[in-house]
Amino acid sequence: MNRNRLHALVACCLLTGAPTSFAAPAAPAADAVVAGVLLPAWLERQGSRESLTPGVVLQNRDRLITGANARVEVRLRDGSVLQLGGDTHCELNALGVREPEVFTAALDVPQGAVRFTSGSLARSLQQRAVNLRVGTLTASIRGTDVWGTADSAGDRICLLEGVITLLHPDEEARQVNEAASCYLAPKGDGPAALQMVSPGQLSWWAAQTGMPPTAQPASPAATMAAWRPARGARSARAGRWSVEVAAVDSEAAALSVYDRARAAGYAARITPLPAGGGGYRYALRLGPLASESEAAALAAEIGSALQSAPVSVVRN
């Protein structure tokens, strides 16, 4: 139960959006560009496999594969973001722009964890047709934030925000528009079911696909080569400082600190950090904040409120 809750907990925290090295209002000239990688991860193209690197422009029918504890982030032409967790396979099909100004993509994930987040620039195209298939489930995307996984327990698609139409081979199509709705198709003979899950569980699940701070981003040169500025776009700066309430090794400890912070009125988020020898530690953080002095003041305040030490200020 704790594992499921933490998997989802890290998802809602990530919903607020972690700062990235990319300016938010930018649209890719290519159909898909690798924005960040935490190795091991590979690109399969026309029968050959090579190590995946940031800045690579992806093509229709490319296949992305991640190893244990790896992460991959891809930016699509319409400004949307595709994130892959560890031990995940993803094939890019129907990738391109059709007449007139219709961006299309069929993202097939037969194994692993995936998150698709629509960008604000998706509205700049007259129309788009994007489908995400996770195992046996297919979600038709319309201005949506969706997380899914396909594993030995079954296939699951969770709506974080927006609207999706869900399809399953043995069920009638259904529209889902309530956040925190999860559709589960279990392995075997069990019936598919739509369930509501807690924000904590969603946050923890989303952490499986979140990009850790240590991941390798695309270089500025590669970014400039693959992206073009959006018309009339204005740059956005995220805060560079956060308050780290705790960094713990276990799910139970992370959930305990998270609950205490939330109960005291602080919107903590769980950030996965790669640990030596594989696996992750879990940092509980507040922010981002615009200045170091602002972060220091908040650190003193929450340290006093939670009676926890040490509370530290970290640079994003």
CA distance 205 to 251: 12
What pLDDT is stored for residue 263 in this prediction?
Answer: 73
Instruction: Name residues whose C-beta falls within 8 Å of residue 118's C-beta, 6 or more positions apart in sequence.
Output: 78, 79, 80, 141, 143, 144, 145, 162
Strand bridging mode 181-186 / 154-168: antiparallel
pLDDT truncated to tens, each residue of the chain (316 aa)?
Answer: 455 555 555 555 544 444 333 333 344 468 999 999 998 999 999 989 999 999 999 999 999 999 998 999 999 988 889 999 999 999 999 898 876 677 889 999 999 999 999 876 554 444 678 899 999 999 988 768 999 999 998 999 999 988 898 988 888 888 899 999 999 999 877 778 899 998 888 888 888 898 877 666 665 544 444 444 333 232 334 568 888 888 888 777 777 787 778 777 777 777 777 777 767 778 888 878 888 888 888 888 888 877 766 788 888 7
Give, in order, the Cα–Cα distances in Å from 9 to each of 2, 161, 207: 10, 15, 8
CA distance 304 to 292: 18
Instruction: Name residues whose C-beta falls within 8 Å of residue 212's C-beta, 6 or more positions apart in sequence.
Output: 38, 71, 271, 272, 273, 274, 280
With 0.75 as the threshold, say if the pTM is over it.
no
What pLDDT is stored for residue 22 in this prediction?
Answer: 35
Tell how far CA 227 is from the center of its chain. 20
For the four alpha carbons of 199, 203, 204 and 209, in that order, the dihedral sign comes to: positive
- Where are the chain's structural domains? 2-229, 241-315
| Class in CATH terms, 2-229 | mainly beta
- Name the superfamily (CATH) of residues 241-315: Sporulation related repeat (3.30.70.1070)
What pLDDT is stored for residue 18 in this prediction?
Answer: 40
CA distance 82 to 33: 10
What pLDDT is stored for residue 59 in this prediction?
Answer: 93
Amino acid at residue number 204: W
CA distance 48 to 273: 32
Residue with tokens 């298939």: 133
